[in-house]
Amino acid sequence: MSEQGEGRPQREADGEWKPRRDGGNYQRREGGGYPRRDDGERGGGWKPRRDDGERRPRREGGGYQRREGGGYPRRDGDRARSSEWKPRWDDGERRPRREGDGYQRREGGGYQRRDGDRARGSEWKPRRDGEGGYQRRDDGERGGRWKPRRDDGERRPRRDGDGYQRRDDGERRPRREGDGYQRRENSGRGPKRSWSAQAPSERQRSADPARRAAFDLLKAVSKGAYANLALPTMLTERQITGRDAAFATELAYGTIRMRGQYDAVIAKVAGRDQIDADVMDVIRLGIHQIAAMRVPDHAAVAATVAIAREAIGVGPSGFANAILRAVTEGPYEQLLAQAAPEDDDSIDTLAIRYSHPAWVVRTLRQALIGAGRDQADLKAVLAASNGQPPVTLVARPGLMTADQLAAQVEARSKQPAIRGKLAPTAVIMPRGAPGDLAAIRHGQAGVQDEGSQLVAWALAEAPVADDQGQWLDLCAGPGGKAALLGGIVRERGGHLTANEPQPHRAELVRGALKQLGDAVTVTELDAREVEGQFDRVLADVPCTGLGALRRRPEARWRHSPADLATLGPLQRDLLRAALDRARPGGVVAYTTCSPHLAETRLVVGDVLAERADAQLIEASEIELLPADAIGADGMAQLWTDRHGTDAMFLALIRRL
């Protein structure tokens, strides 16, 4: 036998054990074994054999003693070592050294944890009758996550709501490739597939600020808020800026815009239509990330489920997770094709595919025909309403030129600014937030669609004999067109009266006009109570907003055909009031941000039919208006798919 270290004997050629050095350690005696040295060293070392072949401790209470059944009992007072081998009894089973200590073999094999013992997730767990017990993970770690099989061969989680549930196709999946549970190769339950990267303890437990802001905006809009007004305030209060602010904006606006399409897909996947409103909002957010944003499927699902868990609860989050997982199973277009076949051009199918209420689809088709366009252009019009609008700025005359604004934009965005094609004051900002520009902060410029700028310029350029510079904006809130008209009339030495009957909107008007000084006056009167005679009057009347759906995405879901019963009479009254306030020879511009015939051509036609003192001016007399926007009746209708602006309607009427 080779050397084993100091204190160990070695065997010589004759088979006798000899001490390694004189006087040291152990000497063989006749009975076999070695006595301990007189110095008492090595209390836990080898023990001498007795004549019967059994080892016995050298002194009472020391070492180990073989029992008939084999194995060694622990000596009293020795340190606790619950993971060590325990002695065998006569029946061949191991038993703990004392009652309640260590592990005890059950009939199926394995060890039962003693009551009250500390949790030891890496230890072996008990077998159950007729079962294969626990499988070691591929990485060799025990981990405590394997679940026992039931009699029917299925694995089940250890407690309700924990672990993994079997999917409808009979397969179970790990949360992340290489993590959690791996199916054994011989299980016969299909190929392995990877799912979430997160084990239960690693799941995202709270929503990120940008996505949570988008969810909160959806809730606010459902209670009546306007997305374009509520979101900027929300982002500022929560200090969400830069790319996160842009992400939250696109997520919120896009989800509201495509709600109709997503609801049809959800109903197809869930097999039912009635789902809690908050849960629907969460699932819509997740689907928009999967279908329309460059967000990986696993990230979209995990982040969206975190919103549900934080804002709604664990139960609804599980339902949202199941729906979103089903959506990611195959190409989204396949699910959409099931709900809205591509070869079906019916109103209801187009309503789903382009996410518009059916009545809006029908209305836009009628508007195309009324404007002299081919109804085959309907798909292009619907698609344009779902597009993301550019950030268009307006340089307010007398305060800043368009060239100066473009220079600021280029310096801030590090990209060339794009000049407007229709309005001389329009500048498109290619990237960045408008609030970062000094011109915006100081009121020298504003954010305004080019179509809105164009109708204001059309009124300013309409021929008026002996213009005295007295202009009126009859429905001025929130102040964008009033600020542009105020800048133009200020340069011409005139004065603008901006009337807004609603106090909170009147405050917005004052904020927009504060840089114009005494060139403007803000009043808060009913339109029929405004006094005086004016050279030019703008009647930008309340409407359904169907021409600005890309900027106000909630408008399509907020209005219904029944609203026209209220809006129609109001629009006619406001046009009559505007004509009353125009002096003879003066001009009225009737505008809406809707192409709906019932809000545009029909209103103008009805009022002109009852008044002999009013006459329509041909829109072709205004050089700024594009020729393809002017109808055969002399009225102008802009289209998003053609002109890149909101679908503004304009009729110029002269007071005789």
Per-residue pLDDT tens for 258-269? 999 999 999 999
Predicted confidence band of residue 257 (pLDDT cuts 50, 70, 90): very high
pLDDT score, position 87: 46
Q: Poorest-confidence range of 90-94, 106-110, 547-551?
A: 106-110
Predicted confidence band of residue 196 (pLDDT cuts 50, 70, 90): very low
Residue 367 contacts residue 361 (beta carbons within 8 Å): no
pTM for this entry: 0.69
* 412 plus 298 within the same structural domain: no
Q: What strands lie across the sheet with 391-395, from one edge to the other?
A: 418-419, 426-429, 391-395, 445-447
Residue 253 contacts residue 228 (beta carbons within 8 Å): no
Which tokens belong to 599?
A: 């809000």
* 458 plus 442 within the same structural domain: no
Catalytic residue among 327, 575, 593, 651: 593
Q: What is the CATH number of the domain that holds 647?
A: 3.40.50.150
pLDDT score, position 206: 72
Residue 230 contacts residue 523 (beta carbons within 8 Å): no
Q: What is the CATH number of the domain that holds 431?
A: 3.30.70.1170
* 357 plus 316 within the same structural domain: no
pLDDT at 175 over 80: no
Q: Tokens 């199918």 correspond to what residue? A: 349
pLDDT at 510 over 70: yes
* 270 plus 292 within the same structural domain: yes
* 264 plus 291 within the same structural domain: yes
pLDDT at 272 over 50: yes
Closest-CA residue to 328 (of 297, 353, 300): 297
* 511 plus 609 within the same structural domain: yes
CA 475 to chain centroid, in Å, comes to: 36
> What pLDDT digit, counting tens, does each position of 365-406 carry?
999 999 999 999 999 999 999 998 999 999 999 999 999 999
Residue 632 lies in a domain: yes
Tell me how far apart the alpha carbons of residues 218 and 343 are, in angstroms, rounded to a whole number.
Answer: 32
pLDDT at 203 over 70: no
Which tokens belong to 432?
A: 């960045």
* 305 plus 413 within the same structural domain: no
Residue 612 lies in a domain: yes
Q: Tokens 């026992």 correspond to what residue? A: 148
pLDDT score, position 229: 84
pLDDT score, position 330: 82
Residue 7 lies in a domain: no
> What pLDDT digit, counting tens, does each position of 78-98 carry?
444 444 444 444 555 555 544
pLDDT score, position 483: 98
Residue 216 lies in a domain: yes
Residue 192 lies in a domain: no
- Select from 306, 339, 372 the last residue of a domain: 339
pLDDT at 37 over 50: no
pLDDT score, position 205: 61
Q: Helix, strand, coil proportions of the chain in percent (round to 5)?
A: 40, 10, 50
Task: List all residues 6 or more positions away from 50 whose beta carbon is below 8 Å from its beta carbon.
Answer: 31, 32, 33, 56
Residue 446 contacts residue 393 (beta carbons within 8 Å): yes
- Return mean pLDDT, the chain: 80
Residue 641 contacts residue 581 (beta carbons within 8 Å): no
Residue 41 lies in a domain: no
* 571 plus 642 within the same structural domain: yes
* 540 plus 406 within the same structural domain: no
pLDDT score, position 179: 43
pLDDT score, position 184: 40
Residue 175 contacts residue 199 (beta carbons within 8 Å): yes
Predicted confidence band of residue 484 (pLDDT cuts 50, 70, 90): very high
- φ, ψ for residue 449 (rounded to 5)? -60, 145
* 439 plus 473 within the same structural domain: no
Query: Quick check: is 475 catalytic?
Result: no
Task: List all residues 6 or more positions away from 631 whose beta carbon is below 8 Å from its beta carbon.
Answer: 370, 371, 372, 637
Residue 652 DSSP one-character state: E
Amino acid at 456: A
Domain count, the chain: 4
Q: Between 200 and 524, whose confidence is greater?
A: 524
pLDDT at 438 over 60: yes
Sign of the Cα pseudo-torsion (514, 520, 523, 527, in order): negative
Which tokens belong to 618?
A: 């041909």
Residue 144 lies in a domain: no
- Over residues 535-558, the mean pLDDT reads 94
pLDDT score, position 546: 95
pLDDT at 135 over 60: no
Residue 539 contacts residue 604 (beta carbons within 8 Å): no
Tell me how far apart the alpha carbons of residues 221 and 232 are, in angstroms, rounded to a whole number.
Answer: 13
Residue ranges making up the domain that contains 443: 391-447
pLDDT score, position 118: 42
Residue 308, Cβ density class (10 Å: 0-12 exposed, 13-18 middle, ≥19 buried): buried
Q: Poorest-confidence range of 42-51, 608-617, 619-628?
A: 42-51
Q: Tokens 């542009």 correspond to what residue? A: 484
Residue 435 DSSP one-character state: G
pLDDT score, position 91: 54
* 612 plus 484 within the same structural domain: yes
CA 38 to chain centroid, in Å, comes to: 80
* 456 plus 373 within the same structural domain: no
> What pLDDT digit, counting tens, does each position of 303-354 carry?
999 999 999 999 999 999 999 999 999 899 999 999 999 999 999 999 999 9
Residue 176 lies in a domain: no
pLDDT at 431 over 70: yes
Sign of the Cα pseudo-torsion (49, 55, 56, 62, in order): positive
pLDDT at 56 over 80: no
Number of Cβ within 10 Å of residue 581's Cβ equals 23
Q: What is the CATH number of the domain that holds 329?
A: 1.10.940.10
pLDDT score, position 593: 96
Closest-CA residue to 428 (of 648, 647, 644): 644
